[in-house]
A and B are shown apart, each in its own frame.
Chain A
Amino acid sequence: MTKDIIFTRRRFLVGAGAATAALATGAVLGHWTDVLSGAHSASQTASPGSGPLVLVTLYGGNDGLNTVIPYQDPNYLKLRPNLGYQPDQVLPLADGLGFNPQLKGLHALWGAGTLAVLRGVGYPNPVLSHFEGMDIWQTANPTDGSGPGWLGKWLDEYSDDPMRALSVGTTLPPVLRGEKNAATAITSTRLTLPGDATLQGAYAALQAPGSDRVGLAAAVATSGADLLNAKGQLDKLAASATSPSTPVGTAPGAGSLTEQMAVVAELIKAGAPTQVYQVSLSSFDTHAGEKPNQEKLLADLDSAFSSFFAGLKGVKAAQGVVVMTYSEFGRRPAENASGGTDHGTAAPMFVAGPKVKGGQFYGEEPSLTSLDPNGNLLHNIDFRSVYATVLDKVVGVDPEKVLGGSFPTLPFV
């Protein structure tokens, strides 16, 4: 588990430090970050038609059975006598399944053929702990959820540009943390540095490369330089943005999902080179009073998707955008005595975007009668197959290099 010292993180900077040591003083300090931005803008940018990927994390374990409802299965209302939805309440899809009544916008996307539902997604020997379950989903390591995030491994392998992946929220979830590279966390379309111009100028000077900075000292300065680089790129994008952005809340998952996805849409419109975005919504742990609580959350999810896609209609940079939801687990098929459900296993995932082969299901609907020893659903799509598909088709990288194994891809995009 010991992480090796990695000096090669940003070869450009370290190299520049050695080569331009003489320049790394006084006169050029005010401008060197511009030089850096230039270097980055010359690097690979996402091609239209492939990405970006917008990952939507639903913390707490969303109840899959009251999201995509098997309303024609008589066992559903037997398991959910109080919590279940009646057939006339659901928004019908196909195969006897229908959406939760709050998901009107998603239903329209399904109708337009741009939203697919992956059924029964999970992994072998599922854990029922939020914390370990979320680690497993974020690291793609179903053994114990240890190691870098799956998209962090992608960053390690392919990119040291701090704009390559952005996470909306104040802290960075493990999914976007690699062993040497990581995404940048933002709470609006801009990054704000404390202090006045003098302090900010001194802070920028502090991040400059220099012959007195090698190894980890260079890496410390580089992390600050990356921050300024990301800030510079975001400022430039914001200057060309069509509408001012509203900052979202400060805690992870705070600020409505609609607000968070509006930030993402704004950046896509402005032409950000970002290939992966992460947004999140919390409080899906509905052990009690599930119906009103989950409906409120699903309404936010629905409005977020609707306004996101409406706002990006006709935007060239958004032609390949794919939005994907996931949660650490689904919930127990049988309702509990408190008007809620306990921790479960397999659940549906949503995948939406102009290039998504939507209006259809992938995978089988899990049986409500053949359950595991805890009374939970059995999975039929391994979540790593879903990851392999988006890595291959949306992010545009070799899934095996990131996932450390081969998983069959699915034809949803």
Chain B
Amino acid sequence: MVSQNRSDVALLYRRAGFGLRSDELDRLSTGSYEAAVDGLIAGLGGAADPGSANIPEPTLTLPARPKKGDLAALKAFNKAITADTQSLQAWWMNKMITTSTPLRERLTLFWHGHFATAVSKVRYPKLMYLQNQLFRTAGSGSFETLMQAVAKDGAMMIWLDTITDKKAHPNENFGREMMELFTLGLGNYTQDDVVAAAEGFTGWTYNTTADRYVFQRAQHDYATKTYLGQTGDWNGNDIVSIALAHPASPRFVLSKLWSHFAYPVSPAEQVVTDLLDAYGTGMSVSAALKAIFLHPDFRSDTTRTGLVKQPVEYLAGAARTLGLDSTLQPLSSSGTTQGTAGAGTAGGKTKVKPVALSALATTLGQTLFDPPNVGGWGQNTYWLDTVTALRRFEIALILAERGDISPVSSVPSAERLDAAANFLGVDGWGLTTRSALAQVADRPSELVALALSSPEYVIA
């Protein structure tokens, strides 16, 4: 069995990143758990991510919005949206696979679910890219700074209709979801607060040519509003600040963070109370994350059995271990991806059709940049049903066939079960899994596929 420290570091990197390869785990587990936490937190700040430095930026080719009635142009426009979105998905998947600042990418994924915004309504892939970069660069600082920036983010403003919020006909969509899903949670505000919030954001719009937020003075409602118990001529910035100053807000935000990284909790629970000081009046996300990872409950059995991997982390983690890029082509040691869609001779083998990892994520129910609705994706049993079980097994067979599984295939059959656990970063197999895997110990590729389908691996 693996040492406690090795098991803890592996857990940390599964939750705060996309898992570790065994050579990385060997190296990191020679140091303390606390040092591993410090390393991940240090990667949150700054711009450098040497691991993904060679990943090309996404190609965004969206032409000008077609004139009404120009159907040929509309068709080309729609095609470009799809192509740009696929480019974005491949770019982010490759970043997750190759990053040397894994917590930053994981946190970006968390915010993508928290501020769930879908390209299918926004229809400007570039704005989805800018929002994603916002999560990456501002995601670990003050939550207030982030929330204020999200309120002025073009994708969000289209997604929740802020751009249509005018004095003459206010739109309540953003104001409501900002309180319900982003800052406070149900039960902490009334419909009157929603109306006041909508009035506060009137006149906020976005220029999609210059990619910037615009305030239209003439469309703003300057009337005095009573909002969350406070009366004044509040504008949108005030609406956000007052929500964040509400006593329910820190608990709400911290419960979402704990639920994503450890196990699902409600805002009232003790672990959330334990994080309040770290988050503080500065609403520091990085300090809260550090407190989460250093909390004794983070390394408890409840955490270890508390989350199912969401499809994107499942696939990015598996691809990372198996040395594959976002098109399932071999990843070179320098971290560059060799394959782009269309290219594809893998090590002299027969030409294999490139498969986009993000398309596989879609078949498992999670499409990057296109969450199902503003509530984002669910957790745990949300990812467990018959169809997903079948797809996961089919995908695992493809991954194991294409990936480098030499650490498993190069050892004798009798040692392969333990080799597979070590290879995939799992502490070990339970008796039931062990007896199942033993049935295909002489078929290394199928053994790895089955291991990737096991409860031990599917649990994060």
A residues with CB within 8 A of B? 1-6, 9, 24-26, 29, 129-132, 135, 144-147, 162, 170-172, 174, 177, 179-185, 191, 193-195, 198-199, 201-203, 205-206, 208-224, 226-227, 230, 287-288, 336-338
With contacts A144-B173, A199-B450 known, what are 14 further pairs, Cβ within 8 A?
A: A3-B378, A24-B432, A171-B365, A179-B378, A194-B394, A202-B437, A209-B432, A212-B433, A213-B430, A213-B455, A219-B308, A220-B454, A223-B388, A227-B390
- Give every chain A residue within 8 A of B390 (Cβ-Cβ): 191, 193, 227
- Given A25-B435, A195-B446, A216-B306, A223 contacting B373 (CB threshold 8 A): no
Contact B458–A220 (Cβ < 8 Å): yes
Q: A131–B118 contact, CB under 8 A?
A: yes
Interchain CA distance A272-B136 in the complex, whole Å: 50
- In the complex the two chains form, is B453's CB within 8 Å of A144's CB? no
Chain A nearest CB from B81 CB (Å) reads 13
Contacts of B458 in A (CB 8 A): 220
10 contacts between A and B (CB under 8 A): A2-B264, A25-B431, A182-B387, A199-B440, A201-B439, A203-B450, A205-B435, A211-B431, A216-B306, A227-B389
Q: Are A198 and B439 in contact (CB under 8 A)?
A: yes
Check B381–A219 contact: CB distance below 8 A: yes
Q: Which residues of chain A are near B363, meaning CB under 8 Å?
A: 170-171
Q: Are B305 and A202 in contact (CB under 8 A)?
A: no
Residues of A with C-beta under 8 A to B306:
5, 216
> For chain B residues 114-133, which have a beta carbon within 8 Å of chain A?
118, 120-121
| Separation of A146 and B459 alpha carbons in the complex (Å) | 26
Q: How far is the CA of A205 from the CA of B459 in the complex (A)?
A: 18
Residue-wise, chain B 63-95 has the 8 Å CB interface mask toward A (1 for contact) of: 000000101001000000000000000000000
Interface string of B248-260 (1 = CB under 8 A from A): 0000000110010
Taking the closest CB of chain A, its distance from the CB of B115, in whole angstroms, is: 12
Q: Which of A145, A162, A224, A337 has a CB less than 8 Å from the CB of B69? A: A337
Q: Are A212 and B69 in contact (CB under 8 A)?
A: no
Chain B's nearest CB lies how many Å from the CB of A89?
A: 26
Q: Does residue B293 face the partner (Cβ distance < 8 Å to A)?
A: no
A198 to B449, CA, bound (A): 14
Mask of B367-387 contacts with A, CB within 8 angstroms, 1/0: 000001111101111101111
Using Cβ atoms and an 8 Å threshold, which residues of chain A touch B378? 3, 179
Q: Which of B121, B177, B385 has the most A CB atoms < 10 Å from its CB?
A: B385
A1 to B173, CA, bound (A): 16
- Across the interface, do A182 and B385 meet the contact criterion of CB distance under 8 Å? yes
B268 at the A/B interface (Cβ < 8 Å)? no
Cβ-defined contact, A162 with B381, below 8 A: no
* A198 neighbours in B (Cβ, 8 Å): 439-440, 443
Q: In angstroms, how far is the closest chain B Cβ from the Cβ of A37?
A: 14
- Whether a CB of chain A sits under 8 angstroms from the CB of B13 is no
Instruction: Write the nearest CB–CB distance from B272 to chain A, whole angstroms.
Output: 12
Bound Cα distance from A133 to B168, whole angstroms? 25
Contact present for A2 and B259 (CB under 8 Å):
yes
On chain B, the residues within 8 Å of A1 by CB distance are 181, 375-376
Query: In whole angstroms, how far apart are the Cα atoms of A170 and B364 in the complex?
Result: 10
CA distance in complex: A212, B436 (Å)? 13
Residues of A within 8 A of B238 (CB): none
Contact partner, B387, options A144, A171, A216, Cβ 8 Å: A171
Q: Please state if B384 and A338 are interface contacts (CB–CB under 8 Å).
A: no
Chain B residues in 8 Å Cβ range of A206: 432-433, 436-437, 450, 453-454
Q: Whose C-beta in chain A lies nearest to the C-beta of B397?
A: A194
Q: Report Cα–Cα, A359/B456, bound state, in Å.
A: 57
Q: Does B97 contact A (CB under 8 A)?
A: no
Main secondary structure of the interface of A (DSSP, over half): loop
Contact: A223 with B71, CB < 8 Å? no
Question: Is A132's CB under 8 angstroms from B121's CB?
Answer: yes
Residues of B close to A4: CB separation below 8 A: 264
- Chain B residues with CB under 8 A of A170: 363, 387
The main secondary structure of chain B at its interface with chain A is helix
**Interface status of B263 (Cβ within 8 A of chain A):** yes
Residues of A contacting B459 with CB < 8 Å?
216-217, 220
Q: Out of A6, A210, A215, A227, which one reaches B431, CB within 8 Å?
A: A210
Q: A189 vs B318: C-alpha distance in the bound complex, in angstroms?
A: 32
A198, chain B: closest CB distance, angstroms: 7
Contacts of B189 in A (CB 8 A): none
Q: Quick one: CB contact mask for B275-309 with A, threshold 8 Å, 1 for yes?
A: 00000000000000000000000000000011110
Q: Is the CB of A180 within 8 A of B381?
A: yes
**Among B120, B177, B455, residue most surrounded by chain A Cβ atoms (within 10 Å):** B455
Residues of A within 8 A of B264 (CB): 2-5
Q: Which residues of A contact B455 (CB under 8 A)?
A: 213, 216-218, 220-221
Q: Which 5 A-B pairs have the closest CB atoms?
A: A212-B430, A210-B432, A205-B436, A182-B385, A217-B455
For residue A184, which residue of chain B has the nearest CB? B386
The minimal Cβ–Cβ distance linking A201 to chain B, given in whole angstroms, is: 6
Chain A residues with Cβ below 8 Å from B437 are 202, 206
> A212, B432: Cβ atoms under 8 Å?
yes
A193 to B392 alpha-carbon distance, docked (Å): 11
Bound together, the chains give a CA A219 to CA B305 distance in angstroms of 11
Contact present for A145 and B384 (CB under 8 Å): no
The complex places the Cα of A201 from the Cα of B437 at a distance, in Å, of: 10
| Docked-complex contact B380 and A5, CB < 8 angstroms | yes
On chain A, the residues within 8 Å of B393 by CB distance are 193-194, 203, 224
A147 in contact with B307 (CB, 8 Å): no
CB atoms of A215 and B305 under 8 A apart: yes
B386 x A223 contact (CB < 8 A):
yes
Q: Which of A5, A184, A191, A288 has the most CB of B within 10 A?
A: A5
In contact, B373 and A217 (Cβ under 8 angstroms): no
Contacts of A227 in B (CB 8 A): 386, 389-390
Picked from B181, B263, B373, the residue with its CB within 8 Å of the CB of A145 is B373
Partner of A208, one of B372, B376, B432, B443: B432
Give the complex CA separation of A203 and B253 in angstroms. 40
Determine the chain B residues whose CB is within 8 A of the CB of A199 once the complex forms.
440, 443, 446, 450
On whether A338 and B308 interact (CB within 8 A), knowing A131-B120, A172-B387, A179-B381, the answer reads no
B residues less than 8 Å from A29 (CB atoms): 435
What CA separation (Å) do A283 and B433 show in the bound complex? 45
Nearest Cβ on chain A to B83's Cβ, whole angstroms: 18
Distance between Cα atoms of A217 and B430 in the complex (Å): 10
Q: Which of A3, A146, A202 contacts B374 (CB 8 A)?
A: A146
Contact of B439 among A144, A202, A214, A230 (CB under 8 A): A202
**Cα(A171)–Cα(B365), bound, Å:** 8
- Which residues of A lie under 8 Å from residue B255 when comparing CB positions? 2
Residue among B69, B266, B376, B380 with the most chain A CB within 10 A? Answer: B380
Residues of A within 8 Å of B394, CB to CB, are 194
Q: Which A residue's beta carbon lies closest to that of B307?
A: A216
Q: Chain B's nearest CB lies how many Å from the CB of A36?
A: 13
Q: Given A3-B264, A25-B435, do A179 and B118 touch, yes or no (CB 8 Å)?
A: no
Distance in angstroms from A369 CB to nearest chain B CB is 24
For window 12-56 of B, CB contacts with A under 8 Å fall at none
Query: Measured between alpha carbons, how far is A226 from B385 in the docked complex, in Å?
Result: 8
Specify the chain B residue showing the minimal Cβ separation from A339: B71
- Please name all residues of chain A whose beta carbon is closer than 8 Å to the beta carbon of B382 when the two chains form the complex: 3, 179
The answer to whether B389 and A135 touch across the interface, beta carbons within 8 angstroms, is: no
**What's the nearest-Cβ distance from chain A to residue B403, in Å?**
17
B379 touches A2 (CB 8 A): yes
